[in-house]
Amino acid sequence: MNGGPSASSIMLHLSGLGPKHAPVRQPDELNTDFNMTLSESPDSLLTIADLVFIDPPDTGFNRKTTWSRGDREQEQEDVYFTEEDDISDLYQYIDHLISTKRLYGRAIYIIGESYGAHRAVGIARKFAEQFRSLAGLVLISPALTSSTQAEGADIYLPAVASIMSFHNFIPKEDYNNVSQFSVEHYRKALAVYPESSAQLENEIANEVSKLTLLEVSWLLNHGLSYSLMDIDDVLVNQKRVAIDHYDGRYVKKDLNSKNPQSDRGMLLQSYVSIVDRLATWLASNGYYEPQSYQWKSRQPSNFLPNYYVPFNSDIDTMDSFLRARTRTRVIMTCGQYDLVVPCRAIERKTHKLRERFKERVTLDVYQSGHMPYIDPTERKKLLKSIKDMISSAHKSL
């Protein structure tokens, strides 16, 4: 299942895991003719497991049911569009599927991308409450909650530096080196500011400036910190490009001449427009009627108020679940060009979890944005990782 919340599973299905594959325009193909075709996918997970792609209510082909009140029919929005009801609805569907297809005893794996990872962890909690086993979780660019949210300019620095390097705005930088600087030096400097020495502040400001193009004096005047909007402003003003926060390798160069700032931080090629083009292409080739498909819900915002409640911790849920289910494995992925769910945020949130369950919980950094499977090389790597997990689990039974 995908995330959003409110996104359908079309991308995971046709550009990621399914038996048919629709390629996605790559960053170096933005200004070229692109022939979208649907072809067989020899790397599909269908070669090793049955696949079920779930569209939450009002996404894809899924629609809310109605119920009668007097002589009126009313959509059951309050039944679906809350965080907990959303998870409960998805669990009930999986429970129904297991029952009707007689899948008792089969190994169940749940794959969730972005907010879909939050859903997957919530479904795992439902499995535990019903004393059911779960073979594994695959959390792609997971938007996970924790009791201590990972915030601060340091979590974005490795991704920002990777994006700057990719576009040759700065000399090539090693992701691991920048990540190490972010953890060992930048984060600590932000924590002690303004009690730190002038020498330390200048050293940190110079290094961050080199990686972000922000002026040293500006950083010193802003407590060594910055926001993504500040990075957007630098790129718009200095390089005349707007980057996609979901995948910083994608940029828009033909900015609004009168108001270039209006283009900053846009969702460009790697998410909304990709899904729209894919859905349009499928409809034009007779796969379904355009009006029957709805990739995004009309009311996604209803999920969000409760999503960042600190005590609703996915990390704590996974910790409890993994203690009780000693065979369950977890694969997490993140993309080094992703500014929406940056790798450093996931690394920080899951550090203790990965230390405690070293053999069962892994986090892999992909040379990708939010969706590692749209890159052909990284897609193969992701699918191999999942297949290896499934194969090793079956051998241990």
- Is residue 139 located within the same domain as residue 172? no
Least confident span in 35-39, 268-272, 372-376: 268-272
Least confident span in 200-209, 319-328, 351-360, 387-396: 387-396
Rg (alpha carbons) of the chain, rounded to whole number: 22
Bridge partners (DSSP) listed for residue 73: 68
Q: For the residues 161-176, what does the mean pLDDT come to?
A: 94
pLDDT at position 240: 87
Taking the CB of residue 261, how many other CB atoms lie within 10 A of it? 14
- Is residue 334 located within the same domain as residue 232? no
- List, for residues 47-95, the tens digit of each pLDDT value: 999 999 998 877 777 776 654 444 444 455 555 667 788 888 899 999 9
Answer yes or no: is 5 within a domain: no
Q: Residue 349 above 80 pLDDT?
A: yes
Of residues 251 and 213, more confidence is placed in: 213
pLDDT at position 258: 58
Overall number of domains in the chain: 2
Q: What is the CATH number of the domain that holds 91?
A: 3.40.50.1820
> SS3 sequence, 205-225?
HHHHHHHHCCCHHHHHHCCCC
pLDDT at position 83: 78
Q: Is 74 helix (H, G, I), strand (E, B) or coil?
A: strand
Answer yes or no: is 139 within a domain: yes
Q: Which of 230, 263, 296 is the last residue of a domain?
A: 263
- Is residue 92 located within the same domain as residue 164? no
- Is residue 63 located within the same domain as residue 96? yes
Beta-sheet strand order (sheet of 361-366): 109-113, 136-140, 329-335, 361-366
Answer yes or no: is 354 within a domain: yes
- Is residue 220 located within the same domain as residue 291? no
Q: Would you give the distance in Å from CA 123 to the centre of its chain?
A: 17
- Is residue 304 located within the same domain as residue 177? no
CA-based nearest residue to 333, from 86, 116, 14, 55: 116
- Is residue 276 located within the same domain as residue 137? yes
- Is residue 257 located within the same domain as residue 316? no
Least confident span in 83-92, 124-133, 249-258: 249-258
DSSP per-residue string spanning 159-215? HHHHHHHHTTSS----HHHHHHHIIIIIHHHHHHTTSS-HHHHHHHHHHHHHHH---
CA-based nearest residue to 109, from 271, 319, 325, 307: 325
Q: Residue 97 above 80 pLDDT?
A: yes
pLDDT at position 69: 44
- Is residue 131 located within the same domain as residue 28? yes
Answer yes or no: is 3 within a domain: no
Of residues 131 and 307, more confidence is placed in: 131
Report pTM: 0.88
> What span, in angstroms and rounded, lies between the C-alpha atoms of 213 and 310?
34
- Taking CA atoms, 25 is separated from 19, 41, 43, 270, in Å, by 19, 17, 19, 8
Domain housing 140? 10-149+272-396
- Is residue 14 located within the same domain as residue 131? yes
Answer yes or no: is 2 within a domain: no
- Is residue 228 located within the same domain as residue 377? no
Query: Residue 271 gets which letter from DSSP?
Result: T
Q: Which of 233, 263, 293 is the last residue of a domain?
A: 263
Going by pLDDT thresholds of 50, 70 and 90, the confidence category of residue 359 is confident
- Is residue 348 located within the same domain as residue 379? yes
Answer yes or no: is 341 within a domain: yes
Of residues 116 and 62, more confidence is placed in: 116
Q: How many contiguous H segments (helices) and E segments (strands) does the chain have?
A: 15, 10
- List, for residues 254-295, the tens digit of each pLDDT value: 766 555 555 555 555 555 556 666 666 676 766 666 566 665
Q: Which of 263, 291, 326 is the last residue of a domain?
A: 263
Q: Is 362 helix (H, G, I), strand (E, B) or coil?
A: strand
Q: For the residues 340-362, what does the mean pLDDT come to?
A: 92
Long-range contacts of 165-173 (CB under 8 A, 24+ apart): 166/248, 166/249, 166/337, 167/239, 167/241, 167/249, 167/251, 169/213, 169/235, 169/239, 170/210, 170/211, 170/213, 173/211
| First and final C-alpha spacing in the chain | 27
pLDDT at position 303: 43
Answer yes or no: is 129 within a domain: yes
Answer yes or no: is 192 within a domain: yes
